[in-house]
């Protein structure tokens, strides 16, 4: 089986994949992740009692901003015009933490998986940054793509 890796040229150097011949289509990616914390910390987040401010609002904005700047941070990622980004945060008592979900949409020649994953990751890191003075034991986990729609590879469901 001979496979050619798409991010390497014939000399083995890294390259951006040429997607100019692919048709543009509607693309959607959904990613999820979690941040675990102490029960008292979760209650402080719920009550908006964290000294740095409203954790959810800042984390949502950070996730949106990160999705928009993904190509600046991941070297071979295509810059995309995104048509929709949502970052949803949900307190979870059973988890003792926060569930993070990002939905990213575009019409393009390439998918938005990296943008959705970046949004979840940055939202989690922002929560960590805002809450670390109160809880040094937080843990970010399970950042993953859960759905992808559009493109040649079709629909993917991972959750």
CA–chain centroid gap for 10, Å, is: 32
Give the tens place of pLDDT for each residue, 8-50: 667 777 767 777 778 788 999 999 999 999 999 999 999 999 9
| pLDDT (average), residues 113-122 | 97
DSSP class of 119: H
User: Is pLDDT of 107 > 70?
Assistant: yes
β-bridge partners, 99: 34, 90
Give the tens place of pLDDT for each residue, 72-99: 999 888 999 999 999 999 999 999 999 9
How far apart, in Å, are the Cα atoms of 150 and each of 7, 15, 30, 120? 21, 24, 12, 20
Phi, psi of 49 (to 5 degrees): -105, 15
Q: List the catalytic residue out of 9, 18, 129, 155.
A: 129
Compute how many other C-beta atoms are within 10 angstroms of the C-beta atom of residue 47.
Answer: 8
* Residue 92 falls in the annotated catalytic set: no
């Amino acid at each position: 089986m001979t496979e050619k890796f798409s991010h390497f040229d014939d000399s083995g150097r890294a390259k951006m994949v040429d997607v100019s011949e692919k048709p543009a289509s509607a693309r959607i990616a959904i990613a999820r992740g979690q941040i675990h914390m102490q029960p008292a910390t979760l209650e402080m987040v719920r009550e908006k009692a964290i000294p740095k401010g409203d954790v959810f609002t800042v984390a949502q904005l950070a996730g949106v901003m990160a999705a928009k700047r993904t190509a600046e941070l991941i070297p071979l990622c295509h810059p995309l015009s995104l048509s929709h980004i949502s970052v949803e945060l949900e307190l979870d008592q059973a988890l003792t933490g926060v569930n993070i979900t990002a939905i990213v949409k575009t019409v393009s020649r390439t998918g938005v998986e990296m943008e959705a994953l970046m949004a979840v990751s940055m939202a989690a890191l922002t929560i960590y940054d805002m809450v670390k003075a109160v809880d040094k034991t937080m843990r970010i986990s399970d950042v993953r793509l859960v759905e992808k729609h559009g493109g040649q590879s079709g629909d993917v469901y991972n959750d």
